[in-house]
Amino acid sequence: MKSTWSGGGADVGVVYQVYPRSFQDSTGDGEGDLRGILARLDHVRDLGADALWTSPINVSPFADGGYDVADYTAVDPRFGTMADLDALIAGTHERGMKLLLDLVPCHTSIEHPWFRDHPERYIWSPTDGPANNWLASFGGGAWSPDPGGRGWYLHSFYPQQPDLDWHNPAVASAFAQVLGFWRERGVDGFRLDAIDRLRKDRELRDEPPAAHPPRLPEQPELDRLEHTRSRDQPDVGAALAALRAGAGDDAFLVGEAYVPSDRLGRYLEHLDRCFCFELLHADWRPGPLREALSRAPERAAWVLSNHDHPRLPNRVGAANARAAALLLLTLPGTAVVYQGDELGMADGPGRTPPAPPDDRFGRDPYRHPMAWDTARNGSFTTGDPWLAVVRPSGGSVAEQERDPGSMLHLYRDLIALRRTLGPGLEVLDSRENVLLVRRGEHLVALNVGDEPEPAPAAGELLRHTHGPARVGDTLAPGEGFIARA
């Protein structure tokens, strides 16, 4: 898929995602913060990342983990101060990396002053009740009554997250000011949340019944409707153009549009990258993997786990986590590494009953803190962590540093290697359970089956999933390599 945007962010090959509450605590309150991220920046630099992306650090009541923003131009005190963010920006740049912030343009918190003072910036039902049959992504109807008695408002997610009306020019103007504010402080770009929801059908018509299963997984309740009116509208480019204008041509913009890859063209006309979700959801089998790779746009942002989805060992199986890393980090475009992936970190247990879950949608297991060493709480905090620290099977960061065969060293080696790979991606014909991908002069081979397979012919071995050893006659399940073609 070709696209027209040719902005200045194309050099971002690897983005490291930090979930701020779970990276490093500097105060002993049990939650990570900006000073903590700054203290651990060398880890991200040594990994080889080009950019650091932080999940939202704005003021928020945390009804949805910070994705319900109450002030777009202020730092939530739980994470520190604006001075702390300035120090993080400077520290990132000193290490040769970019800093990307998470921007949430689809909706605000219900506690944002705009909802009180500028109701015209939101989407309201023209009747005393729901305007249509639209559903919220987290379940239930997408319309709720205003606590102040002003009618019913639309929310694509939780009721605490009223949707903004991107047909109103005042919304675009307000976000241009937000983007300009952060750019002036030195922020290099943004991950744009839920951008397929920016434009809705102006007439607020009902969604039609679904004629076939969704191409990307949805909550079961949503499967009964075809979501052609509440998201992914043909005129979404007008909203994206406004975001690009506010950020500037040299900002790196990566979009979260939860749509099939063949519909990303209208987003990539204005953005540097868009997430390719087919690979995230693909079964770890040759057919689905080949299909996901073949459908992707040339400027995909590849992700295999994040704060919303199970971690790699839980998604593809612990035995395949190294092969998944090899695949992710040898694909063209941008690879996004979620904190802890480089250690082989698996899902945690969430909160221990009778404590209620922090995230009501059940995503706590994907958000556990990092284990930096073997000290109490992995040196994540000197207090009681908000979620238990999960120790990866291969050990903490400090333990894996000392082990050249560790997952951490595999990630470092692959990130260094990806800089030598040429453009393009060709999925080759191969034995049924061997995934074979060509990147110019390089060949990537993975056994994604359950039985040993003959190793394909290749030239000089550059990296094996399980060490520097030569490729033998066979690849065991979960093994792979990158070599000269």
Per the annotation, the verdict on 193 as an active-site residue is yes
Q: What is the Cα–Cα distance from 457 to 472, expressed in whole angstroms? A: 10
Number of other residues whose CB lies within 10 A of the CB of residue 120: 11
Q: What is the Cα–Cα distance from 434 to 471, expressed in whole angstroms? A: 14
Q: What is the Cα–Cα distance from 58 to 68, expressed in whole angstroms? A: 9
* Structure tokens, 254: 């990566």
Nearest C-alpha neighbor of 226 from the set 291, 297, 135, 124: 135
Per annotation, catalytic residue among 68, 193, 364, 413:
193
Per annotation, catalytic residue among 25, 64, 256, 359:
256
**What is the torsional sign of CA 309, 310, 316, 320?**
positive
158 close to 226: Cβ distance less than 8 angstroms: no
Residues 6+ apart with CB under 8 A from 164: 105, 106, 107, 108, 121, 122, 123, 171, 198
* φ, ψ dihedrals at 103, nearest 5°: -115, 135
Nearest C-alpha neighbor of 334 from the set 259, 376, 274, 385: 274
* φ, ψ dihedrals at 99, nearest 5°: -115, 125
* Structure tokens, 413: 């080696």
Dmax over CA atoms of the chain, in Å, equals 72
Q: Which residues are catalytic?
A: 193, 256
